[in-house]
Amino acid sequence: MTDAVDAIRDLWRAERPDLDTWPTGIVGRVQRLSRILERELRFFDSRHGLEAGEFDVLTTLRRSGPPYRMTAGAFLKASMVTSGAVTKRIDRMEARGLVERVRPAGGDRRSVQIQLTDKGMEMVDELFPLHLENESQLVSALSREECEELSRLLRRLLESFGDSSLN
């Protein structure tokens, strides 16, 4: 069985047989898979009335634990998106009652925190099991053992680039 990456490598073999394109087998497939997974996850979000990245906001706040509130800086670190993207996203979600901006009593105006509302909590608690089911479907071509092995190998590769825990 062959895929688009095999076809690309075959073309390079014909043009430059002196080059070993084995890394393209990994990098090319990871890139293609990333685009496909992003598309599928955006589709899941849109089916549930969320715009791109809003599910990430809900889950980031939910997994932070009570009171489900984070400073903008901590949120940026945990979600790994740009501040401009977060601001726009939070504005939209605040207008829909999913999150709110909170200033601690007597706190500095710059120390605004983002907090999950009851409506946001209800939504994330309803959607997260469905999200996990969707992710399971997305990797269903592999056995559970193959998924665990792939996860382990991808972790090792990410760690080689300095990507570690969020803390």
36: enclosing H helix or E strand: helix 22-47
Q: What percent of the chain has pLDDT over 90?
A: 75
Burial letters 25-50, b for 16+ CB under 10 A, else e: eeebeeeeeeeeeeeebeebbeeeeb
Taking only the tens place, the pLDDT of each residue in 55-109 is: 999 999 999 999 999 988 888 888 766 777 788 889 999 999 999 999 877 666 5
- Going by pLDDT thresholds of 50, 70 and 90, the confidence category of residue 111 is confident
Q: How many residues does the chain have?
A: 167
**pLDDT computed for residue 103 by the predictor:** 84
**Range 107-125 average pLDDT:** 87
- Going by pLDDT thresholds of 50, 70 and 90, the confidence category of residue 167 is very low
Question: Which tokens in the block code for residue 115?
Answer: 């907090």
Residue 3 has pLDDT above 80, yes or no: yes
Mean of the per-residue pLDDT values for the chain?
A: 91
Q: What percent of the chain has pLDDT over 70?
A: 93
**Range 151-166 average pLDDT:** 87
- Going by pLDDT thresholds of 50, 70 and 90, the confidence category of residue 15 is very high
